[in-house]
DNA sequence: GCCGTTTTCGGCCCGACTGTTTTCAGTCG
């Protein structure tokens, strides 16, 4: 784990303990914020410590500075240790239980001696939690259900699993006749790599239809359990164990609601603050003049009795805040509002910008389609080129090619390329980066190829120094064009190599090697943070599916999502370039 | 705990739903 994420965990832990102890809420909020910004930071925090620029980072003050510096120096934080010891360690995981928050956990601990999940389950079964102020039978039943839910679900679902579910429900929602507009919101719309729950927003043709639509939603065949249901909101759990929340709003408030529920929370906080500075207030109903809003009549579940300055579309709300439209993938409070204000938002890459796929497999190694089959489908997608890059010999499980088989395969690719008009086929290989950073083939073999993707597959538990040196050595090889899935991580499965990314970016930029955003779910490697760091450091990227079938080529969209979250433009992605420019890039190192 | 071109003190985004209550606290997003 990197230093940044270790520190992020420390601040998150301290915030959680403070919440349970019932300390001033804003302290906990401040530490949560520090935790989040450390997690998002793509340069090593050690650098900021050395430069003495720690408190220049908005959100880090004196206390946080002290904790970070101490941790960098000693690998520990006395403050964190002391705070952690002031509550039973077993209480922190209880925060994950839906319906159970820090206040109630604090009460259970102080008044009933609950120290961990086991105590809680016992106390619930024995009925010893009854009689506490503000806690009745229903509350206890809901906590029980929450525990059960948690034990069933594996935590956050990957976007590869959540997106199809969300799209299916959206389609169903749009088919309800009283529904005028419907949209996915939340982290799924922002295309985060993992999704806690799905948010759906819909507007009504007839504003009295709220309860009926809510009712219809809870009756969808995908719904396993109904968590709550009202005229403006319903929550369900699908058969996959995914929570889905529906919000129902009048048509004139649709844009404001979609904006609000798309988040992120931090983005919302920033734009609401901006609204306030401009003497306005922003909520899920719209953007209002502050003075008028305070006087207006408000009823629960209804828009305030006041004409909003903007509310029908997101763009209108942004415009009133003197901002251009901000793409959902950017809404993470990672500088997008400042960039929008300065007119410096990137023109984000779209799927239409992709001219080819530079990482794919065929039946020659572990793919299921032939060269021709892959080429035909790639051409049908409008691609100008496709690189066929089967595995090298170390990937025995994947039927990796020996040098001899590879050279025959190269000839077959060239032959297929002559036969199939309208798409350029590149003869390549996904060559293993071995444990010491050497490659699985000699340079003389690599020299026969049009393109070389070098990827780590095994020994993914190295320490930072060893792993970084390994990838750097591969980057230095003059035949390598792309580092495939650079960390080897798999969402919800394994962490991958703990690389010193700053060093990797610097070397890749210097040597003219592209870093891959592997679009295949569940890899999505580089992730958004690292891809952003890479382009910041002047690297170019390649967004590839690593397809093992013709269907696999469709997964490009997940890679595009990662790139968009990373502020990437088409110019920075080599497979958005024309064949002439790409060809120049692929050959530039060999002729140096 | 963090922040400040009205502030070094006094704020810190806003609303719905639920469960427990007769006016509100906790949780969630």
What integer pLDDT is reported at residue A478 of this predicted model? 95
- What pairing do the DSSP bridges indicate for beta strands A233-238 and A223-229? antiparallel
Encoded tokens for A29: 């909020």
**Minimal CA–CA distance to A505: which of A514, A518, A497, A496?**
A514
Q: Tell me the C-alpha distance between A18 and A40, whole Å.
A: 22
- What pairing do the DSSP bridges indicate for beta strands A197-204 and A286-289? unpaired
Q: Tell me the C-alpha distance between A337 and A470, whole Å.
A: 38
**Minimal CA–CA distance to A73: which of A41, A46, A44, A93?**
A46
Determine the nucleotide nearest to A261 by Cα–C1' distance: B29
CA of A63 to C1' of B1 (A): 7
CA of A422 to C1' of B2 (A): 59
CA of A135 to C1' of B20 (A): 7
Q: Tell me the C-alpha distance between A480 and A519, whole Å.
A: 20
Q: Tell me the C-alpha distance between A559 and A543, whole Å.
A: 6
Residues A391-450 have pLDDT tens digits of 999 888 788 999 999 999 999 999 999 999 999 999 999 999 999 999 999 999 999 999
Determine the nucleotide nearest to A139 by Cα–C1' distance: B19
CB neighbour class for A378 (10 Å; exposed up to 12, middle 13-18, buried from 19): buried
Q: Tell me the C-alpha distance between A210 and A451, whole Å.
A: 57
Where do the domains of chain A lie, and which CATH numbers do they carry?
Answer: 3-152 (1.10.150.110), 157-249 (3.30.460.10), 272-341 (3.30.210.10), 351-588 (3.20.20.140)
Determine the nucleotide nearest to A141 by Cα–C1' distance: B19
What integer pLDDT is reported at residue A427 of this predicted model? 97
Strand order in A243-249's β-sheet?
A179-185, A197-204, A243-249, A233-238, A223-229
CA of A29 to C1' of B25 (A): 19
Q: Which residue is nearest to nucleotide B11 (CA to C1')?
A: A26
Q: What is the pTM (predicted TM-score) of this model?
A: 0.82
* 8 A C-beta contact, residue A184 and residue A166: yes
Cα dihedral A146→A151→A156→A162 (10° resolution): -90
Residues A284-319 have pLDDT tens digits of 899 998 888 877 877 777 788 888 999 999 999 999
**In 10 A of CB A210, how many CB atoms?**
21
CA of A27 to C1' of B16 (A): 26
What integer pLDDT is reported at residue A155 of this predicted model? 61
Q: Which residue is nearest to nucleotide B14 (CA to C1')?
A: A283
Q: Tell me the C-alpha distance between A165 and A178, whole Å.
A: 22
Mean pLDDT by 10 residues, chain A (592 residues): 81 88 83 84 81 86 91 91 88 85 88 89 87 85 82 74 92 93 94 91 88 91 85 86 89 93 89 88 90 78 84 94 94 90 94 98 93 97 97 87 95 96 96 94 95 94 90 96 94 83 95 97 93 96 96 96 97 98 94 65
Q: What angle do CA A40, A490, A484 make, to 5 degrees?
A: 90
- Which positions of chain B lie under 7 Å from any protein Cβ? 1-3, 11-21, 25-29
3-state DSSP call for residue A243? strand
The pairs formed by A438-446 with CB atoms below 8 angstroms and a separation of 24 or more are A438/A473, A439/A392, A439/A474, A439/A477, A439/A480, A440/A392, A440/A393, A440/A394, A440/A400, A441/A392, A441/A393, A441/A403, A441/A406, A442/A403, A443/A477, A443/A478, A443/A479, A445/A403, A445/A406, A445/A407, A446/A477, A446/A479, A446/A480
**Minimal CA–CA distance to A258: which of A299, A345, A199, A179?**
A199
């Amino acid at each position: 784990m990197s230093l940044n994420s270790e520190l992020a965990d420390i601040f998150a832990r301290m915030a959680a303990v403070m919440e349970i102890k019932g300390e001033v809420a804003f302290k906990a909020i401040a530490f949560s914020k520090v935790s989040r910004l450390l997690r998002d930071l793509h340069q090593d925090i050690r650098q900021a410590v050395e430069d003495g620029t720690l408190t220049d980072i908005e959100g880090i003050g004196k206390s946080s500075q002290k904790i970070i510096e101490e941790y960098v120096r000693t690998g520990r934080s006395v403050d964190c240790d002391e705070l952690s010891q002031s509550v039973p360690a077993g209480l922190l995981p209880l925060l994950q239980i839906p319906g159970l928050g820090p206040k109630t956990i604090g009460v259970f601990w102080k008044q009933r001696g609950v120290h961990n999940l086991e105590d809680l389950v016992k106390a619930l079964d024995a009925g010893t939690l009854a009689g506490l102020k503000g806690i009745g039978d229903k509350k206890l039943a809901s906590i029980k259900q929450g525990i059960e839910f948690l034990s069933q679900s594996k935590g956050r679902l990957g976007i590869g699993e959540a997106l199809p579910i969300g799209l299916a429900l959206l389609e169903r929602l749009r088919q309800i006749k009283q529904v005028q507009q419907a949209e996915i919101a939340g982290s799924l719309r922002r295309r985060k790599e993992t999704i806690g729950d799905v948010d759906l927003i819909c507007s009504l043709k007839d504003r009295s239809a709220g309860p009926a639509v809510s009712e219809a939603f809870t009756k969808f065949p995908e719904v396993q359990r109904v968590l709550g249901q009202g005229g403006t909101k319903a929550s369900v759990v699908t058969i996959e164990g995914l929570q889905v929340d529906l919000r129902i709003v009048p048509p004139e408030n649709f844009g404001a609601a979609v904006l609000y529920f798309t988040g992120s929370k931090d983005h919302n906080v920033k734009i609401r603050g901006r609204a306030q500075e401009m003497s306005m207030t922003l909520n899920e109903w719209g953007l209002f003049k502050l003075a008028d809003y305070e006087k207006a009549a408000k009823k629960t579940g209804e828009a305030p009795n006041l004409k909003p300055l903007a509310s029908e579309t997101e763009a209108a709300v942004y415009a009133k805040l003197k901002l251009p439209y901000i793409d959902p993938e950017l809404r993470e409070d990672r500088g997008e509002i400042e960039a929008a204000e300065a007119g410096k938002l990137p023109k984000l890459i779209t799927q239409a910008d992709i001219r080819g796929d530079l990482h794919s497999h065929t039946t020659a190694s572990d793919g299921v389609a032939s060269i021709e089959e892959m080429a035909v489908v790639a051409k049908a997608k409008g691609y100008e080129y496709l690189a066929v890059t089967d595995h090298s010999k170390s990937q025995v499980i994947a039927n990796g090619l020996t040098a001899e088989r590879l050279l025959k395969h190269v000839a077959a690719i060239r032959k297929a390329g002559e036969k199939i008009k309208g798409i350029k086929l590149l003869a390549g290989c996904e060559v293993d980066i071995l444990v010491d950073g050497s490659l699985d083939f000699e340079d003389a073999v690599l020299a026969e190829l049009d393109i070389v993707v070098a990827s780590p597959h095994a020994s993914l538990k190295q320490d930072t120094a060893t792993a970084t040196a390994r990838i750097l050595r591969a980057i230095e090889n003059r035949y390598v064009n792309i580092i495939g899935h650079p960390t080897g991580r798999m969402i919800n499965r394994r962490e991958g190599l703990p690389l010193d990314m700053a060093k990797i970016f610097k070397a890749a930029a210097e040597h003219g090697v592209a870093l891959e955003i592997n679009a295949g779910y569940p890899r999505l490697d580089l992730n958004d943070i690292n891809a952003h760091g890479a382009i910041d450091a002047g690297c170019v990227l390649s967004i590839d599916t690593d397809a093992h079938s013709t269907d696999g080529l469709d997964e490009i969209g997940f890679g595009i999502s990662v790139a968009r979250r990373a502020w990437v433009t088409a110019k920075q992605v080599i497979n958005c370039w024309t064949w002439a420019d790409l060809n120049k890039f692929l050959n530039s190192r060999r002729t140096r």
